[in-house]
Structure 1
Amino acid sequence: MSFQQGLSGLNGASKQLETIGNNIANANTVGFKSAVTQFADVYANSLSGTSGLGTAGIGTRVSQIAQQFSQGNITASNSSLDMAINGGGFFRLNKNGAISYARNGQFQIDKDGYLVSADAGRLTGFVASNTGVLQTGSPTDLRISTADLAPKETVEVEALLNLDSRATVPGAFNATDPTTFNNSTSVTVFDSLGNSHVVQLYFRKTAANAWDVHATSATGTIAAGPVASITFDSAGNLVGGSPGNISIALTNGAGTPINGATGISLDFSSTTQFGSAFGVNSLTQDGFASGRLSGFNVGSDGTITGRYTNGKTSTLGQVVLANFSNPNGLQPLGNNQWAESNASGVALVGAPNSGRLGLIQSSATEDSNVDLTAELVNMITAQRVFQANAQTIKTQDQVLQTLVNLR
């Protein structure tokens, strides 16, 4: 008599119950991937290496415990550092030179400014230069720079105005006398140190379809006389003078002209002269003061964009993802992490939402993909299988006892 079949069945059912129990235990573990127990039958081989025809098998064995990398539900969170992968791929972590991979996107910033997991593994990606340009070479540890955003000197002011063609020609220009110009407006510009300067622009009609533009500033020096002369055709479109960029040599606090010898360019190319009231439709400039980091967010492509107190944004880095030809071949490490192995193939690293890589959802986490209902049903089935195998052993024992009792 052989107890092999029943014993192997008990061992197999026990392993299956262990797998189910582990799945249920991690039902609330962020980024956890459930597993299933896979079985194979066992046959005894003869000396020739093959089993005989009609030979009964000698039981079962666990061929593998296969992880299921199906997508888990995405749940919103209150932390801007939380990230969820919607699709394929893994976060790439570096802990003291050891590379691991995870689907758990619960990150925080350590004392050195690095994005780290709960066990201090540093999230890797592409870093950005001081000008916000990504260095898309080899992934490295991502660090959130808290340095101030450097100011940008104003190079150009773009004015979209309408000058009233019905206006009359005033007397000689005097910035302190409103009767000597037709209209005025102001714009704030910035020098190379981020200091602001308010430039007051005055528009004075000199003849039919012809205007002079004067400028003053309380914090800098602007050359005397008009800084621009512009003319219009009979349809009110800008045609003469300097229809493109016109320079203002505003001196900053250090005594040097803003934007060097060229000065600040005024772009009036979209300005019109129609028979309607003076109006400023748009008045923009390209400079800004320095700013401090006030927060950041992660885009669907993994780009980390910093927000600054001066209202500007800058790219701080980009999270990368890694995928494998055979994710089931990854070696589990615990702590929701896996390691590359010969069975998984080499890591294929790239930007999110490219190739086979999924996109990133910020302020969200990926739930475990454990289906509790299915696991409970599987538990009942495994329990019945265990009981049935125990019954075969009991039956074998009874048969053996009968044989022993023969007289």
Structure 2
Amino acid sequence: MLRSMYSGVSGMKGFQTKLDVIGNNIANVNTAGFKSSRVMFKDILSQTAAGATGSTAEVGGSNAKQIGLGVSIGSIDTLHLAGSAMTTNNPTDLRIDGDGFFAVGLTAETDAANAFLTRAGDFHVDGTGNLVNSDGLFVLNTGGGAINVPQGSTFSIGSDGVVAIKAADGTIATDNRIAVVVVRNPEGLEKAGGNLYRVGQNAMAEGETIVFEAEADGPNAMAGGIVAGQLEMSNVDLTSEFTEMITAQRGFQANSRIITTSDEVLQEVVNLKR
């Protein structure tokens, strides 16, 4: 069989994956905290028809003759670029102005190393006064515990993540601080659905947990300050996505044409015996 046919098949598979990723990006254009992805290709190992030869005093050298065998997916990267800010004026809507992530847990006492991470700050106060996300996961403080607002109290969240809770008698408690987690390699985080990430093996060293208190300035400024009343929207750029969609569509069509042409060549070979 012709090598070009298999090369065309690999190209079609690759561009189908690219279209799948682009479609997911566009579908989440209005998803709070969503980070777009991209597909990178790499060529498959080439078949060497003739090796290279070195030059001598009598004869010059020659280059190797290699035939490529197609394309494969090199990587599917998540682009952790900041999305645009949307002002909601809702005090429980939070945005991180930096590289950090909110930590949320399945239980009220969750170690930060086992927590899910998210950039979506559309939080709520549930019926028992706990600060939770839209799926009911607990928003964690720097100690790994839940943040609870007693009944009859009011609260505000500062740029440093401190939750100031004012009781009915006028006393103010500031012993809760929202955890902001920074990982060495954000692209190593694995999407877990529901705007959540789990820490993958390549996100940080084993056993390492980097928890920074939210801070707009100072030594922890990389984590970023918290902006209350705002949400971080998706970082999907529709102009780029539609351009990439056109490129992927044309690439898919071109590779399908390779298969059609290879089939026509094989048909001609079969017809030689007639």
Runs of 5+ consecutive residues of structure 2 not aligned to the other structure: 49-62
2:47–2:66 Cα contact (<8 Å) kept: no
How many Å apart are 1:309 and its aligned residue? 5.4
Larger Rg: 1
TM superposition outliers: structure 1 runs of 4+ over 3 Å = 307-314
How many Å apart are 1:323 and its aligned residue? 0.9
The answer to whether 1:60 aligns with 2:71 is yes
CA distance in 2, matches of 1:34, 1:330: 13
Runs of 5+ consecutive residues of structure 1 not aligned to the other structure: 47-51, 127-137, 147-291
What percentage of residue pairs aligned between the two structures are identical? 33
The answer to whether 1:377 aligns with 2:239 is no
Please point out which of 119, 127, 130 is paired with 2:135. 119
1:340–1:347 Cα contact (<8 Å) kept: no
How many Å apart are 1:44 and its aligned residue? 4.8
CA distance in 2, matches of 1:34, 1:74: 16
RMSD of the alignment, in Å?
A: 1.8
CA distance in 1, matches of 2:203, 2:47: 32
CA distance in 2, matches of 1:355, 1:71: 15
CA distance in 2, matches of 1:308, 1:344: 40
Q: Partner of 1:202 in structure 2? A: none
CA distance in 2, matches of 1:343, 1:12: 24
> Which has the larger strand fraction?
1
CA distance in 2, matches of 1:141, 1:313: 18
Q: Partner of 2:183 in structure 1? A: 324
> Which has the larger helix fraction?
2
CA distance in 2, matches of 1:378, 1:363: 34
Amino acid at match of 1:139: G
Please point out which of 88, 99, 123 is paired with 1:107. 123
CA distance in 2, matches of 1:53, 1:332: 43
What do residues 238-270 of structure 1 show as CA deviations (whole Å, max 9, x unaligned)? xxxxxxxxxxxxxxxxxxxxxxxxxxxxxxxxx
User: 1:137-148 maps to which residues of 2 (within 5 A)?
Assistant: 138-146=143-151
Please point out which of 333, 346, 361 is paired with 2:192. 333
How many Å apart are 1:343 and its aligned residue? 0.4
How many Å apart are 1:55 and its aligned residue? 1.6
Amino acid at match of 1:401: Q
How many Å apart are 1:306 and its aligned residue? 2.4
Q: Partner of 1:84 in structure 2? A: 95
Please give the secondary structure, in 2, of the residue aligned with 1:55: strand
Cα distance, 1:364–1:404 mapped onto 2, change above 3 Å: same
Cα distance, 1:315–1:390 mapped onto 2, change above 3 Å: same
Q: Partner of 1:350 in structure 2? A: 212
What do residues 157-183 of structure 1 show as CA deviations (whole Å, max 9, x unaligned)? xxxxxxxxxxxxxxxxxxxxxxxxxxx
Amino acid at match of 1:100: F
Amino acid at match of 1:392: I
How many Å apart are 1:312 and its aligned residue? 5.6
CA distance in 1, matches of 2:148, 2:193: 25
CA distance in 2, matches of 1:35, 1:302: 29
Q: Partner of 2:155 in structure 1? A: 296
Q: State the TM-score, normalizing by the size of structure 2.
A: 0.84
How many Å apart are 1:305 and its aligned residue? 1.4
